[in-house]
């Protein structure tokens, strides 16, 4: 049953008809699993918030065959996109849901643990770290269930880790990666703050050897800005990690990206961040505008006081080939 209150919370009008002709394949080829075991037919719960089942109650195979998943798929096939959040989803905003329709799962996105070794103000209000207790035990249970499913899955699939917690700081994610099936059909995409990468990447060689994408979140291009915004982080340690990642990229040829959450305290380092990307052989530098995740950030202070200079920085980096091609949407 559709949870209408959930859609109201996200201001989604479920009677709308967007009349989109192209079919977004996310409801067909993607499943996201959160820390409570709830599964979603999209890569972001804010874009399509209706759960299609729970891994604590059903197997993943059963969830992928639920009537709810089929119902959500129909809402995309008919062009209405009535359950999608057109105000949040960047693909609907661009009117370009670009993937082709299919029904084999190609992406599994893990959000089963929010443990992190940092407490960045743009992300959370304090330190979150699970290595015992009910949240940890459930995370381990979910990790084992997903690995069990992956052992039987024969089609090409990419496992995405790091949208909520850090893959190397999290005991749950390390447990998962240390036990992941040694199957050639499974590839990996990791997003990390990088601080524990050098120490722990050697413990998960199969993941590293089959990694297609590695992203590193760095909100400052200088020690002062980085350590102000990445609370708990050390500049010298992240530089060591970048050097390690650049060396690994030469060996494994994965796609390497730097991520910067642009805000009042770091916009002046946008161009320096791009230089950092070139120095460490990044394929892309992503600039994402700060969003309200109900943290302690004062969003009234995030209106850039030197707007014209900010715009000039954006336009200067927009011509660089490794700058994210949507960087101009920041202004």
Percent of the chain with pLDDT over 70: 88
Residue 163 confidence (pLDDT): 80
In degrees, to the nearest 5, what angle opens at C-alpha 244 toward C-alphas 238 and 247?
145
User: How many CB atoms within 10 Å of residue 292?
Assistant: 9
Residue 243 confidence (pLDDT): 97
Question: Residue 62's Cα: distance from chain center in Å?
Answer: 25
Q: How far apart are CA 109 and CA 77, in angstroms?
A: 22
DSSP string over 175-189: HHHHT----TTEEEE
Instruction: Express each pLDDT in 77-86 by its tens digit.
Output: 999 999 999 9
Instruction: Express each pLDDT in 160-187 by its tens digit.
Output: 999 889 999 999 999 999 999 999 999 9
DSSP at 35: T
Mean pLDDT of 223-232: 92
Residue 293 confidence (pLDDT): 55
Residue 260 confidence (pLDDT): 93
Mean pLDDT of 227-240: 93
Residue 231 confidence (pLDDT): 83
Mean pLDDT of 254-281: 94
Sequence-distant (≥ 6) Cβ neighbours of residue 249 within 8 angstroms = 214, 256, 281
Q: Helix, strand, or coil here: 52?
A: strand
Residue 36 confidence (pLDDT): 96
Residue 232 confidence (pLDDT): 87
Strand order in the sheet with 157-161: 51-54, 38-40, 30-34, 107-111, 157-161, 186-192, 211-217, 255-262, 284-289
Q: How far apart are CA 141 and CA 124, in angstroms?
A: 25
User: How many CB atoms within 10 Å of residue 222?
Assistant: 15
Mean pLDDT of 195-203: 95
Q: Which domains does the chain have, with CATH numbers?
A: 1-95 (no CATH), 106-330 (3.20.20.70)
Backbone angles phi, psi at 4, to 5 degrees: -65, -35
Residue 96 confidence (pLDDT): 64
Residue 84 confidence (pLDDT): 96
Q: How far apart are CA 204 and CA 175, in angstroms?
A: 10
Nearest to 147 by CA among 198, 196, 112, 192: 112
Instruction: Express each pLDDT in 111-161 by its tens digit.
Output: 999 888 787 676 666 667 677 889 999 999 999 999 999 999 999 999 999
In which region does residue 312 sit, left (phi positive, over 0), alpha (psi from -120 to 50) or beta (all else)? Answer: alpha
Residue 303 confidence (pLDDT): 58
Instruction: Express each pLDDT in 3-53 by its tens digit.
Output: 899 899 889 999 999 998 888 999 999 999 999 999 999 999 999 999 999
Residue 53 confidence (pLDDT): 97
Instruction: Express each pLDDT in 284-318 by its tens digit.
Output: 999 988 766 555 555 555 556 677 888 888 888 88
Helix (H) or strand (E) holding 308, with range, is: helix 307-317
What residues are paired with 190 via a beta bridge?
Answer: 161, 214
In degrees, to the nearest 5, what angle opens at C-alpha 153 toward C-alphas 190 and 90?
45
Residue 170 confidence (pLDDT): 95
Residue 326 confidence (pLDDT): 63
Check: CB of residue 314 under 8 Å from CB of residue 327: yes
Check: CB of residue 188 under 8 Å from CB of residue 157: no
Q: How far apart are CA 267 and CA 326, in angstroms?
A: 16
Check: CB of residue 69 under 8 Å from CB of residue 42: no
Residue 297 confidence (pLDDT): 58
CB-count exposure of residue 14 (10 Å: 0-12, 13-18, 19+) = middle
Check: CB of residue 39 under 8 Å from CB of residue 49: no
DSSP at 323: B
């Amino acid at each position: 049953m559709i949870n209408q209150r959930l859609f109201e919370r996200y201001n989604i009008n479920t009677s709308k008809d967007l009349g989109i002709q192209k079919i977004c394949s996310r409801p067909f080829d993607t499943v996201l699993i959160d820390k409570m075991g709830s599964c979603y037919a999209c890569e972001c719960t804010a874009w399509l918030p209706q759960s299609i089942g729970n891994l604590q109650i059903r197997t993943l195979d059963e969830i992928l065959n639920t009537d709810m998943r089929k119902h959500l798929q129909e809402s995309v096939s008919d062009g209405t996109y009535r359950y999608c959040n057109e105000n949040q989803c960047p693909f609907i905003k661009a009117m370009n849901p670009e993937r082709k329709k299919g029904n084999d799962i190609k992406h599994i996105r893990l959000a089963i643990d929010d443990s992190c070794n940092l407490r960045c103000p743009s992300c959370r209000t304090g330190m979150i770290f699970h290595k015992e207790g009910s949240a940890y035990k459930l995370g381990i249970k979910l990790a084992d269930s997903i690995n069990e499913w992956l052992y039987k899955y024969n089609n090409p699939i990419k496992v995405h880790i790091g949208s909520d917690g850090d893959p190397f700081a999290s005991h749950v994610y390390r447990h998962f990666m240390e036990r992941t099936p040694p199957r050639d059909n499974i590839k990996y995409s990791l997003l990390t703050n990088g601080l524990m990468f050098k120490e722990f990447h050697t413990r998960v060689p199969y993941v590293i050897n089959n990694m297609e994408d590695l992203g590193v979140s760095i909100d400052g291009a200088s020690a002062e800005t980085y350590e102000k915004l990445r609370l708990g982080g050390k500049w010298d340690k992240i530089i060591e990690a970048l050097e390690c990642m650049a060396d690994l990229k030469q060996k494994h040829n994965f796609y390497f990206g730097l991520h910067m959450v642009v805000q009042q305290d770091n916009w002046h380092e946008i161009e320096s961040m791009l230089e950092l990307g070139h120095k460490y052989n990044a394929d892309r530098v992503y600039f994402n505008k700060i969003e309200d995740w109900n943290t302690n950030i004062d969003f009234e202070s995030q209106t850039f006081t030197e707007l014209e200079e900010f715009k000039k920085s954006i336009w200067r980096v927009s011509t660089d080939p490794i700058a994210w091609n949507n960087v101009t949407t920041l202004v």
